[in-house]
Chain A
Amino acid sequence: MSRPNNQRDAIVDRFSELMRRGIIFSWESSQSFDTGSIEFRFDLTPDRSRGHGRVTRLTQEEIYSMRNVHFWLDTVTEHLMRESCAVRAAHPELFEFDSGMHIRAMNDRSTREADRFVYDGMMFGNAFHPDSAAEAKAETLFKQFAGAAPLIILKSGKPIALKGSAGGQYKLFARRAYCVERQPDGARMCAVVPRVPLYDHLLGIKLTIETDELLFLKTANVAEAFGTRSIQVDHVAVDGVRYFGSLSNSLVPAHLNCRTAI
Chain B
Amino acid sequence: MKTIRKMDSTGDTAVKFDETQADAAATLEARALFDRLTKTDNASVFTSDGRRVKHFDGLAEENVVVPMIVGG
Binding site for B on A (CB under 8 A): 125-126, 131, 133-138, 140-141, 144-145, 176-178, 190-197, 200, 203-205, 207-208, 210-212, 215-216, 219-221, 230
Whether B5 is near chain A, meaning CB under 8 Å from some CB there, is yes
A196 lies within 8 A of B7 (CB):
yes
* Interchain CA distance A27-B8 in the complex, whole Å: 56
Quote the shortest CB–CB distance from A257 to chain B (angstroms). Answer: 29
Q: Which residue of A lies closest to B10 (CB)?
A: A134
* Interchain CA distance A190-B7 in the complex, whole Å: 19
B48 lies within 8 A of A144 (CB):
yes
Other-chain residue from B5, B10, B50, B70 in contact with A191 (beta carbon distance below 8 A): B70
* Interchain CA distance A23-B72 in the complex, whole Å: 42
Chain B binding surface SS class: strand
Answer whether A212 and B44 are a contact pair too, CB < 8 Å, given A190-B72, A193-B69. Answer: yes
Other-chain residue from A137, A220, A230 in contact with B11 (beta carbon distance below 8 A): A137
- A residues near B10, Cβ cutoff 8 Å: 131, 133-134, 137
- B residues near A134, Cβ cutoff 8 Å: 9-11
Whether B58 is near chain A, meaning CB under 8 Å from some CB there, is no
- B residues near A192, Cβ cutoff 8 Å: 69-70, 72
Q: Which residue of B lies closest to A146 (CB)?
A: B50
* Interchain CA distance A134-B11 in the complex, whole Å: 4
Answer whether A144 and B62 are a contact pair too, CB < 8 Å, given A207-B44, A208-B44. Answer: yes
Quote the shortest CB–CB distance from B36 to chain A (angstroms). Answer: 17
B11 lies within 8 A of A197 (CB):
yes
Q: Which residue of B lies closest to A196 (CB)?
A: B7
A-B contacts, 8 listed (Cβ < 8 Å): A134-B11, A138-B12, A144-B62, A191-B71, A192-B69, A200-B7, A204-B44, A204-B67
A196 lies within 8 A of B67 (CB):
yes
Quote the shortest CB–CB distance from A229 to chain B (angstroms). Answer: 9
Other-chain residue from B11, B46, B70, B72 in contact with A207 (beta carbon distance below 8 A): B46
- B residues near A190, Cβ cutoff 8 Å: 71-72
Answer whether A177 and B72 are a contact pair too, CB < 8 Å, given A194-B67, A204-B66, A207-B66. Answer: yes
B50 lies within 8 A of A145 (CB):
yes
- A residues near B11, Cβ cutoff 8 Å: 133-138, 140-141, 196-197, 200
Q: Which residue of A lies closest to B47 (CB)?
A: A145
- B residues near A144, Cβ cutoff 8 Å: 48, 62
- A residues near B16, Cβ cutoff 8 Å: none
Which 8 A-B pairs give the minimum distances between C-beta atoms? Answer: A137-B11, A190-B72, A204-B66, A211-B52, A192-B72, A134-B11, A221-B71, A200-B7
